[in-house]
Structure 1
Amino acid sequence: AAVALAATGLAALPSSAVAAADGIVVQYRTSASGASADQSEPWLKVRNAGSTSVPLSSVKVRYYFKADSASAAYRFACSWAVKGCANITGTFGTLANPTATADRYLEIGFTPGAGSLAPGADTGDLQLRFHQASWASLIQSDDYSFGPERTTYGDWSKVTAQVNGSLVWGQAPGGNNPTDPPTNPPTDPPGDGARLFDDFNYSSHTDPKISANGWSVRSNSGGPGVPGATWAPENVTFASQSGNSVMNLETSTAGTGASTKHTEILTKSMKFKNGTYASRVRFSDAPRSGPDGDRIVQTFFTINDLTAPMAKDYAEYDFEYLPNGGWGEPANILYTTSWDTYRPDPWEAVNQHSSDRRSYAGWHDLVVTIDDNQITYYVDGQHFGTHGAAFLPERPMSINFNQWLIDLEGQPSTTPRAYDQQVDYVLHVKDQVLTPAQVNAMVGSYRSAGKTFEDTVPGS
């Protein structure tokens, strides 16, 4: 009888669907069944109907939806999960081939802490939700994966599942079967293309080579961050580590604006636009000394100046790690954000972001590529998020690293403390989209040749 029921369930799937080829089945229900809602609430279970154990960290599930506008940005949240919300990740992406019912997707992943699914086991409830960043009402009746009648769990082929990058369950909207970056991408870096490469092989923040190589160590006052804080060039230092020179950004405070010292280094020229940007960055979850808890932001980003509120030629592309939360988040989270524009007062932002709520302490390879169609982010060689054409840059930008405190509310102590962010190298290749493997090969070729700096990118 069980075999007959299983056969009936599979027969009910669309003929083009990929159905449990690796034993993975996704079940769905909604707890917000209205045609419109403050937030969409896709609740999921992932079940292993196969005969071998499956590590959940190898599984990705996608829920497809139609954006409420081209510029709409969304935020993901996990309300509750049997596996623990800390072990659930959610990132948003843009479909290469939009349809009438889908041009975006929410991709759900699992950290290694989620463990494995034994044969016959499921994840239990994943009570998930997402909403517009503005909290404007969203329309879900036109969303591909939405099933208003699905108020109890059941197999649902309008969400897809991948195991190690291979589609094993469900049917994506036409022409959009999910694919991860190639498991064996080409590693030979392109031989042409203007480039900036810097191994940060400097003696101190006063080394004249820093300015000669096009960098500025910030000392002027102003935002972002704690009012009254200073930007301390002396806290940008350099040291040898495992045979490479590493730049350290130290941010410190004793709980007052006057005692707070932020750090930033940026290119003096805004001459970087389309192409590949890459860096190896070490994030930290705890201070080097003193009490923990400050709402600190550790970054790698590109940006140009806002010429007027809501100016359409503004551009910014961020990796931002918040080890102690902030901006409404209670704990560590990594954001990638692509900006169209914003207004500082009253605050209004037009952007798209992807995020992952877990610790990113340690060294990470960060890559963002910008072509004529989209912006794509990678972390440690894995796809992190793709953002749409509405957020492409109109003008060139600078390249920046900074570390700063959002406010002083996370840790009220007046005991001094200091946080470190480290940077190994930075690479930009103009007008070429490189894979993470090609980035690694190019950096390796610079180091094999003993070349610590090159800048052939023409001025804007």
Structure 2
Amino acid sequence: MSQPRRTPRRRAWTALTLPVLLCALAACSGGGTLAGSAAGSGARTPSASPTPSGPPGTLFDDFRYSGPDDPSLGEHGWEVRTGGGGPGIKDTWSAAGASFPSDSTAQGGRVLQLQSSTDGTKQGTRQVEVQTTGTPLFTGTFAARVYLSDEPAAGRGGDHVVETFFPISAADSSANYSELDYEYLPNGGWGAPGPQLDTTSWFKADPPDRVTHALKKQRLEGWHIMMVTFMDGKVTYSLDGKNLFTSSGKYVPREKMDMHFSNWFIDLPFTGGSRTWNMKVNWFYYKAGEAVSHADVQKTVAGFYSAGTSFINTVPKS
């Protein structure tokens, strides 16, 4: 069943990292490639290895950063949200929930961790979101290896948490508003029981106009490869290589989008006791203008790891 639209997002973002001349000269002009950076405490070994799938039109990141204040994070086109607005518990966005720990279950051993927490009050709630900025994404293949949680990392379960992966327009008020959602609700929400994985293609945010598919009663805790392919007037969502849902007609993107990962609360169903919820992202891969199969995504990403390529961006800037 289609869920109500999230509270329209007021894009009040604060970039926690400052782009430096290396970005401006090497990566941010003409869709250049930056495969590693020595800037900041999260320095990584530069790699001159070519992308296995070949430029242009490739974005890949395996999130080897020291923290949300690592200069490399901003150089590579990512922001951590600290501004106001929704969805969920408004004005509770915090950079504290974004970290990049080691993880023995992750490919390459590192992840982006999105940790949201609450004690059931607005004052005690912290939500987290990380997005791309400055790299327009449109037709092609979006893929991420994401860890979904059914239980909190600490505290009592039962929160109406939403673990999400989605490309979206820069402004909800855009005349060509576009959004493609994966939303995992381990405990349900909006009056529906969980677990549930919603895949939703939007035409308009306000009033809500979208088509959606719900994968119900399947607990999905663990690692999954989530993919969205937008080609030839169709959007297809697939989970671990299995197609879930296809939209077409007016329910396809009409303008370029940013990539978001978010972990937030629909509401606060109970108070008492602090609890934390973790969502993790192992890597993100985008290939412009191509429908890449699940197997070829895995092969390409394995090639990046084998070559020592932690980051590459050859997507044209316009």
| TM-score grouping bracket, smaller chain normalisation | 0.7 to 0.9
- Aligned-partner SS, 2:96: helix
- Aligned-partner SS, 2:315: coil
- Aligned-partner SS, 1:240: coil
- Verify the 8 A CA contact 1:251 1:419 in the aligned structure 2: yes
Report the CA distance shift for 1:307/1:359 in structure 2 as closer, same or farther (over 3 A): closer
User: Does residue 236 of structure 1 match 2:76?
Assistant: no
Hey, what does 1:433 align to over in structure 2? 291
Match of 2:85 among 217, 222, 237: 222
Shift of 1:420: 0.3
Mapped partners of 1:315, 1:424: distance in 2 = 25
- Verify the 8 A CA contact 1:193 1:431 in the aligned structure 2: no
- Verify the 8 A CA contact 1:312 1:340 in the aligned structure 2: no
Match of 2:124 among 247, 253, 259: 259
Mapped partners of 2:123, 2:135: distance in 1 = 31
Shift of 1:192: 4.8
- Aligned-partner SS, 1:231: coil
Amino acid at match of 1:438: D
Where does structure 2 lack aligned partners over 5 or more consecutive residues? 5-51
1:155-191 deviations in Å (ceiling 9; x for gaps): xxxxxxxxxxxxxxxxxxxxxxxxxxxxxxxxxx754
1:301-322 deviations in Å (ceiling 9; x for gaps): 00013463xx540000011100
Mapped partners of 1:216, 1:257: distance in 2 = 23
Match of 2:210 among 345, 351, 354: 351
1:391-445 deviations in Å (ceiling 9; x for gaps): 1212100000000000002xx1221110000000000001111111111011011
Amino acid at match of 1:257: K
Hey, what does 2:230 align to over in structure 1? 370
Mapped partners of 2:68, 2:205: distance in 1 = 32
- Verify the 8 A CA contact 1:239 1:247 in the aligned structure 2: yes
Amino acid at match of 1:365: I
Relative to the length of structure 2, the TM-score reads 0.80
Mapped partners of 1:319, 1:313: distance in 2 = 20
Mapped partners of 2:196, 2:177: distance in 1 = 25
Hey, what does 2:243 align to over in structure 1? 383
Match of 1:196 among 53, 59, 63: 59
Mapped partners of 1:269, 1:426: distance in 2 = 16
Mapped partners of 2:111, 2:171: distance in 1 = 31
User: Does residue 458 of structure 1 match 2:316?
Assistant: yes
Figure out how many residues of one structure are paired with residues of the other and give that number. 268
Mapped partners of 2:263, 2:135: distance in 1 = 20
- Verify the 8 A CA contact 1:372 1:389 in the aligned structure 2: no
Amino acid at match of 2:307: A
Mapped partners of 1:254, 1:455: distance in 2 = 39
User: Does residue 415 of structure 1 match 2:273?
Assistant: yes
Q: How does 1:266-277 map to 2 (within 5 A)?
A: 266-269=131-134, 271-277=136-142
Amino acid at match of 1:418: T
Hey, what does 2:153 align to over in structure 1? 288
In terms of fraction of residues, the more strand-rich structure is: 1
Mapped partners of 1:422, 1:193: distance in 2 = 28
User: Does residue 341 of structure 1 match 2:204?
Assistant: yes
Hey, what does 2:70 align to over in structure 1? 207
Mapped partners of 1:327, 1:443: distance in 2 = 36
Percent identity, aligned pairs only, is: 37
Relative to the length of structure 1, the TM-score reads 0.56
Q: How does 1:28-427 map to 2 (within 5 A)?
A: 75=1, 190-227=53-90, 229-242=91-104, 243-269=108-134, 271-306=136-171, 308=173, 312-343=175-206, 348-357=207-216, 358-409=218-269, 412-427=270-285
Amino acid at match of 2:209: V
Amino acid at match of 2:103: Q
Shift of 1:294: 0.6
Mapped partners of 1:417, 1:233: distance in 2 = 17
Mapped partners of 2:165, 2:97: distance in 1 = 17
Mapped partners of 1:456, 1:284: distance in 2 = 32
- Verify the 8 A CA contact 2:140 2:288 in the aligned structure 1: yes
Amino acid at match of 1:336: T
Amino acid at match of 1:385: F
Hey, what does 1:185 align to over in structure 2? none
Shift of 1:270: 5.3
- Aligned-partner SS, 2:111: strand
Shift of 1:231: 1.1
Shift of 1:327: 2.0
- Aligned-partner SS, 1:201: coil
Mapped partners of 1:272, 1:282: distance in 2 = 23
Q: Which structure carries more relative contact order (alpha carbon 8 Å, separation 6+)?
A: 2
Mapped partners of 2:181, 2:273: distance in 1 = 31
CA RMSD of aligned residues (A): 1.9
Which entry has the higher C-alpha Rg, 1 or 2?
A: 1
Mapped partners of 1:284, 1:435: distance in 2 = 26
